[in-house]
Amino acid sequence: MIATTGKTNLLGLTQPEMEKFFDSIGEKRFRAGQVMKWIHHFGVDDFDAMTNVSKALRDKLKAIAEVRGPEVVSEDISTDGTRKWVVRVASGSCVETVYIPQGKRGTLCVSSQAGCALDCSFCSTGKQGFNSNLTAAEVIGQVWIANKSFGSVPATVDRAITNVVMMGMGEPLLNFDNVIAAMHLMMDDLGYGISKRRVTLSTSGVVPMIDELAKHIDVSLALSLHAPNDELRSQLVPINKKYPLKMLLESCRRYMATLGEKRVLTVEYTMLKDVNDHVDHAREMIELLKDTPCKINLIPFNPFPHSGYERPSNNAIRRFQELLQQAGYNVTVRTTRGEDIDAACGQLVGQVNDRTRRNERHLASIEAVSVQNAAAQP
Ligand code: SAH
Ligand code: SF4
């Protein structure tokens, strides 16, 4: 654990929370806007640099508050321009944040938890087990750190980060309040001013929380589908046993209905060789999604050691894509970025102190397999 200072961290406070904070210390509410602009637009963490705030208030703030992002452990830049930060959070674990430039778009992929308890079979984050939920300051802190590294610019002018996807480590809907607060800050003009269409939450399918989401926010939604039937999906994404496909797609449709007609669900489908990449899977998917307006994003599997899965051939991916396209779907294939710095989807491992001891179990099972393999050698 990293020692805490007992001061209020202003980094993760939404505008109403910041106003409440200033109220509570007997100051005017408009201070909230001033201080938020310093923090988020200009990347400032030193109260003395907030020059439109009186010296007396700056001194008061220094005594009781702080602006503290997660500690940056490393920053790597890939040959393709992708950047990856490893940051240490209060629990002592490390999580990863990835920036992917693509034409006029700059997408930041943000983590919500240190590790993940949901244990999807093809995900290296899941294999690490779960350690902790990130605080709102640690979630928005990743945007703050990335934004600062490009030189902060006011939210009203062109910016490096045009899109944020909650597709880093962790299941965002299982860290609900903190993720909602951070996403409000991403969209707020006093924060990062990113349009609600360009902030996307990705979920493996925590149905009750998808319904809850609609009551709090109107960000874009991505569903990690990965299989066109319950039998296979339950093997790949264990939470499917609790919230099977029919229930899941109904909740996604309900959420999308609250957003209005022009917004569509993104369906993510990680393609695993000889597991979910057959033409029959594509046909099943066409049938499954026929009542759910969506665009489909195929993600070729990104390998990691001992995963037991392989990436399908380009031909298999193209054939799968074409079948879905012929049925009228808008289908993109995600290009793998930042592989040289291990920044691709599913390669984010950080350094998680597993509390579920899954990691040990996982390593033990790998060892068991190696022992069996060694025993099978002639
Ligand atoms: N927990 C959330 C968000 C984080 S995972 C979710 O599951 O949606 C972000 C995306 O990367 C998900 O669609 C996930 O299934 C995918 N992914 C995980 N491991 C992967 C791997 N090894 N290769 C390709 N995609 C992977
Ligand atoms: Fe967790 Fe998402 Fe990985 Fe599944 S794919 S283990 S939900 S991070």
Give the strand pairing for 199-203 and 83-88: unpaired
Active-site residue, 345 included? yes
State how far the Cα of 132 lies from the Cα of 79, in Å rounded to an integer: 32
Residues in the chain: 378
Q: What ligand 2 atom has the least distance to the C-alpha of 126? A: 6
Active-site residue, 109 included? no
Alpha-carbon torsion angle 36, 38, 40, 42, nearest 10: 170
Q: In three state form, how does the secondary structure of 197-233 look?
A: HHEEEEECCCHHHHHHHCCCCCCEEEEECCCCCHHHH
Nearest CA to ligand 2 atom 6: 126
Residue 341 pLDDT:
72
Strand 83-88's sheet: what is its strand order? 71-77, 83-88, 94-102, 105-109, 163-166, 199-203, 220-224, 265-271, 294-300, 330-333
Residue 354 pLDDT:
63
pLDDT digits (tens, 9 = 90+) for 234-244: 999 999 999 99
Q: Is residue 224 part of an annotated ligand binding site? A: yes
Domain covering 8-66 assigned CATH 1.10.1740.10 in the classification: no
The ranges assigned to domains in the chain are 8-66, 71-376
Q: Is residue 234 part of an annotated ligand binding site? A: no
User: Which segments in the chain show pLDDT lower than 50?
Assistant: 156-157, 359-378
* C-alpha distances out from residue 365 to 127, 273, 360, 361, 371, Å: 12, 22, 8, 6, 10
Provide the CATH number for the domain formed by 71-376 in this structure. 3.20.20.70
Pocket test for ligand 2, best of 122, 204, 297 (most atoms within 8 A of CB): 204
Residue 145 pLDDT:
97
